Amino acid sequence: MRLKNISLSYGMRIFKALSEEARVRILHLLLENKELSISDLEHILDFTQTKTSRHLNYLKNAGLVGSRRVDQWIFYYILEEALEIIVQIFTFIQKDVNLIRDQEVYKILDSNRELAKNKIQNNPYRK
């Protein structure tokens, strides 16, 4: 669903959500990678579980982020109705050093995860 305009109260929630660097970094990672678990965000941003949860709850309550449960994991993503606004905002700050570094850390962690999965799957002693 594409928004044509937003209410003042929704706009204020967006601006308040973006007033904290941690939340901006989380939104950027979600924008770049579609969805991430809380443990992925903790590792990439080097945040505690408490800090990460607090910021994700804030983003969720602001109407920017949704979640889905898979077994014991919860994956977070940017809500479709907020996507266009978030994309527009990040066009202006996409070259920020912190945001670029966060994405590089994600790529390293993701490649390590793929290596580990391949190693487990190709283990000749695996039953």
pLDDT digits (tens, 9 = 90+) for 33-73: 999 999 899 989 999 999 999 999 999 999 999 999 988 88
Terminal Cα distance for the chain, rounded: 47
pLDDT band at 8 (very low <50, low <70, confident <90, very high): confident
Q: With respect to residue 1, please indicate whether it lies within any of the assigned structural domains.
A: no
Q: Is 3 inside any structural domain? A: no
Number of domains in the chain: 1
Q: Which structural domain, as residue segments, surrounds residue 74?
A: 8-121
Does residue 2 lie within any of the structural domains? no
For the entire predicted model, the pTM comes to 0.82
> What are the CA-CA distances from residue 86 to residues 47, 81, 108 (Å)?
22, 10, 25
Q: Which are the contacts of 54, defined by CB distance < 8 A and separation ≥ 6?
A: none
Does residue 78 fall inside a structural domain? yes
CATH number at residue 103: 1.10.10.10
Residue 31 lies in a domain: yes
> 82, exposed or middle or buried, with CB in 10 Å at 0-12, 13-18, 19+?
buried
Please check whether residue 127 lies inside any domain of the structure.
Answer: no
39 in any annotated domain:
yes
Of the listed ranges 9-13, 25-29, 80-84, 93-97, the least confidently predicted one is 9-13
Tell me, yes or no, whether 72 lies in a domain.
yes
